[in-house]
Chains A and B, each alone.
Chain A
Amino acid sequence: MLAVYQSLLRLYPSLYREQFAEEMISVFRDIDAETRKKGITAAAKFHLREISGLFCGAFSEHARRILGSHVPFPLSSRRFTMRPGFRFPKSTSFLMAVILAGIVLAIQKAEEISAALPRDIAPAGPMWAPHVGVLTTIVLTFSMVYVAGALGWIVLFALRRSGVHRLSDMPAAERD
């Protein structure tokens, strides 16, 4: 098992190995000897834990090296997982159905228009004027996204499902 452990340590970045590999092997050897005395089940559990620990650790170290040291690693901290109590409001499914229906209707309408056009007509020019640059396109895209977000919030507000309404519905004790 020590040979497997040593070969798995090669998954770590070289700098990390230089700093800790020898020590890790020494600690592994001590615990391995100890758990072997406790029986085969304890030894199997220990080996499984060590192997998964090495895989996660090596992945974490490489991610840190690539993404930067300031990025906390989500696997170990589990800080980025969704709150277990979180639920989408029921109106979300209704809104999604409306959006999907709108997309389907828009596609159908476009097909009808396309079929009604005479075949010998010259192809239409670009939707945007040629002088519109990348920056303008980005600004326009973000504006549209924000407008869509604001519209969604207005719908939620009208349905009394916004955060403001949820907070006001909450008992005072829970709010504190």
Chain B
Amino acid sequence: MRHVVRGHVVLPLTEPVLLILLSLAEHPRHGYSILKDVEEVSSGRVVLSTGTLYGALRRLLEDGWIERFDEDDTSRGRQAYRLSPLGRRNLQTEVSRLKQLTRVASLRAARKGA
């Protein structure tokens, strides 16, 4: 398998990074909301620790895949994160790759069963 390095993030993406990007694809979120959404999207299979989450967010921020901004409700002093145009483009590339892979996988699995 060929691995493409884009900044610090390597394609194909690891599952936690992919889930974090998917979580931010819908709308901007803060850390707690990302953790909860990742758990929900993965049906409880992937539970990130804060160390893992913020390590991934730091890499994605440095590569310009996501952006950090102050939430409107600043009462809790939380920072929110959103997907940048570059991040969205890269996420779409990864999703297309996965689609192609699952299509081939489905075809082969069906052929094997026949």
Contact = CB atoms under 8 A, between A and B. Distances in A.
A31 B32 contact: yes
A53 B51 CA distance: 5
A78 B54 CA distance: 18
A60 interface: yes
A27 B35 contact: yes
A78 B50 CA distance: 19
A57 B51 contact: yes
Interface residues of A, number: 30
A54 B48 CA distance: 11
A56 interface: yes
Question: Looking at chain B's contact residues, is the secondary structure mostly helix, strand, loop, or mixed?
Answer: helix
Interface residues of B, number: 27
A30 B50 CA distance: 11
B89 interface: no
A26 interface: yes
Nearest to B36: A31
B52 A16 contact: no
List 7 tightest A-B contacts by C-beta distance, closest first: A53-B49, A53-B51, A57-B51, A27-B31, A54-B51, A57-B55, A20-B54
